[in-house]
Amino acid sequence: MRKLSIFLVMIIITTSYFVFAQTKTTKEKQVKFVIHTDYGDMKGVLYNETPKHRDNFVKLAKSGYFDGTLFHRVILGFMIQGGDPDSKKAKAGQPLGMGGPGYTIPAEFNTNFKHKRGALAAARTGGPSNPQKASSGSQFYIVEPEKGANFLDNDYTVFGEVTEGFNVITKIASAAKDNSDRPVKDIKMTVKIID
């Protein structure tokens, strides 16, 4: 009986160590990003558990794809959306939100990642034309309200979160906008990966 007890304790200690080590490693290796805007900076992390979305965001950011794009849809109490390459040279009043790199990303839903305040998630085409709920290749949104937007959980891929600059999200969401929720004054961004 004593040998069995010692054996069980050793298994528990070993398992705990590996779980702790894996969690620590995951947190240490998270990719960090910064989104620069005229309203200030937002800093955050990308989740390792959504590798296709993480790697795509890193690739686009490092190539300068997002630089000069606009936050083209802003809704106070909901979210701010950007990443449409057509927004770089868009004229005032031009409809936006349909542009992208020409591909989609398979959904990577994770029940642990909620649409809390600051959640970074992939936009997508809705309805019957996208039954797999594949994400846009470049468009993303950031959740604005304190209460989050939990009605979107497990329907859109959350692949990161803002950890600093929540006031910037609210400033952008509060900007004067037209009938299509596009800010009247352009809000450009530059996205960088922090090494």
How is the chain split into domains, by residue range?
30-194
Q: Over the stretch 74-91, which tens digit does the pLDDT of each residue have? A: 999 999 999 999 999 999
Q: DSSP class of residue 140?
A: E
- Report pLDDT for 127: 86
- Fold (topology level) of 30-194: Cyclophilin (2.40.100)
Instruction: For 151-164, write each residue's pLDDT tens digit.
Output: 999 999 999 999 99
| 13 pLDDT more than 80 | no
Do 161 and 118 form a contact (C-beta atoms < 8 A)?
A: yes
Measure the CA–CA gap between 96 and 66, rounded to whole angstroms. Answer: 15
CA angle (138 as vertex; 99, 62 as ends), nearest 5: 125
Residue 186: what pLDDT? Answer: 96
- With cut-offs at 50, 70 and 90, classify the pLDDT of residue 93: confident
| Pairwise CA distance, residues 54 & 27, whole Å | 14
Answer whether 74's CB lies under 8 Å from 80's CB.
Answer: yes
Between CA 17 and CA 146 the distance in angstroms is 35
